Structure 1
Amino acid sequence: MGELLGVAVLGAGHMGADHIRRLDRVVSGARVVAVADPDAARAEEAVADVEGVSVHTAAEAALDAPGVDAVLIASPGPAHEEALLAAFARGLPVLCEKPMVPDPAGALRVVEAEARLGRRLAQIGFMRRYDAEYLGLKALLEDGRLGRPLMLHCTHRNVSSPPGFTSAMLIDSSVSHEIDAARWLLGQELTAVTVLRPRPSSGAPQGLVDPQFVVFETAGGVLVDVEVFVNCGFGYQVRCEAVCEAGSARIGDDRGPLVTARGSAGTQVPRDYLVRFADAYDREVQAWVDATRRGRVTGPTAWDGYAASVAAEAGVRALGNGTDGTGGTRVAVDLAPRPALYG
């Protein structure tokens, strides 16, 4: 535990740059030793205040840089499979941002590759598992005081969607967090999904199906509904309410400081996921660093990443299956057999 963990960060965009800052200034026990991004200028900017970092345009060059002990993947989703397999080939522990791999076939290849190794190397970045409110809700559901869960009501709202954001990405990028959170909170796999389409918001870009209403079924008979609205305009909001046989519990009610001024009172609504889940990201990366330095891999598994990709892909198919253009078709979530490595 004496040596700092040397980390190669793949991707220097919004998420990657924030992780570089986190590893350099917040997390203990690690340092950034290499960064890779196709945009060399962006990579240089991200490490401008970090000493001793080599900058590369190719991911594999960063993995082979001197001093690399582990990898944090924060590049776009389509690049994850190649990066994960390259890390596995080098025996490097990995923290991979979600989606692990966007398409289920690629995600399954990653699962199978890790299973062939016979040991875990990958932790997938579903950071809500490290959020204090989500951890509290998980504890409530596990201690049984609320009785058996019957429903989860979820809300996922963003101020605005970035350029190029598609209707499918509302599910495979945004709702993927709710997919993992539901599986984790309930301890059940998702078995089917239906997507309903309210009329599009006038604040959404032309052609974007926003908002959407997504309903998942679980193997234990729980219903999980998700309102996803990525151009709400007023703030970033993530909420979850568990309705159980003997009570309910809700998280995400924006209970920050109540400010009274100039004849009005209110609380501040976060504008960005990096603000709302800052503590969760810090806890997640610190837990990964601590475990890796001890030779362990904890947290969400490659199987969790694969299961989320399958459920999201089923949701995208449900979104496009409505013959009248309003969705409403139920699509099954079919998972491959789970390798023994993942219990």
Structure 2
Amino acid sequence: MNKKSSGYILVLTLLVISVLTILVTQIFYQSSSNLSLMNTLVNKEKAKILALSGIQLSIDRLSVRLEKENSESKKLEIPGTTRQGLGQAQKKPETISSASKLNKELLTRILPVINKWQTVELKESEDGISGKLNICICCENGKLNINKIYDFKKHQFVNSGQIKNDYLKLMQDFFKKMEVFADQKDVMQAFQGYLADRQFPLNETTELLNIKFGYFKENVFYRPSISGEKKQIFLTDLFTVWTQDNKLEPWLLSNSVQVLLGLDANQDNIEKRNQVVPDWISKFKSSFDWSKDWNDILKPVYQREFTSLPHDLVGFLNSTFTAKIFSVISYGTVAGVTQKVYGILQLTTKNDAVEVSLKKLYWL
């Protein structure tokens, strides 16, 4: 009997040890999984904060304030005279409005980086966080406002059938080129049909995803291309609903519009563009006649002669600088976790300064 009891106790002990081993192992794996999840969630929140900081950095870049002129120099000047003697006619300097000065300063800041990735590497020892921030600033005025080029009451494109500024013809040309990228036919017909069925303007550009055009479903928000990568067109980089007119800002055309027009202003890196931008800006003026000014001012930017452009393009370009709405794509990456945010920024001129406000934020 004693031998049987000993054997029973031994088996029971082994069973208990096995059960405890299983429980401990399960608890270990569960805690490891929870710890990994917690680390991922913490890194996700850090990446979100980092992505939002990219929006703030963009606001800082777009904010412009003119320096006040030296009041002491003004005291020494007597109207209508020179310092050499009273009564001697003084040559009147060319006056530049504060608005033009603000626009030139804004262009100086934005032209080197427009439509390009700006990358900031962060180190914990120096910045308090280890990660990477990618920022890309685009101009909404360099895109087509779908609500301004299409009349939802008449259900037709603005100036349809007219000799000049026919947006139907422009869109037909654009979609014909897009069909090459998408390898899909009759896209323009589907586009027109969708707009004709609507009774009111679009609230968001992404509503155009309802059109049966699979290409844009994978190309919604702009991604700056890497060197050697195939050019692409993006829905929210071609169309917008945020601007106030139906014209394009030629200084700051979006990358997708450039692709469809056969232009290329993105071949230079930021460092090289920083060197040539001052020369471009030196030719800035309050208004432009692009049929005469293109070759002198924008040919160096887009590498195209005016005669090689679509013959009716001038009618779709703003003759004055009107960049008031910008968009920002910001990627924050921490420990392999990336968070993406897309912001719409509005510029307002006030008291010799450009102030920037955030209109809308999208988490991608």
Q: One fold, TM greater than 0.5?
A: no
State the TM bucket, normalised to the shorter chain: under 0.3
- TM-score normalised by length of structure 2: 0.23
Higher helix share: 2
Higher strand share: 1
Which structure is richer in relative contact order (CA contacts within 8 A, separation 6 or more)?
Answer: 2
Q: Which has the larger radius of gyration?
A: 2
- TM-score normalised by length of structure 1: 0.24
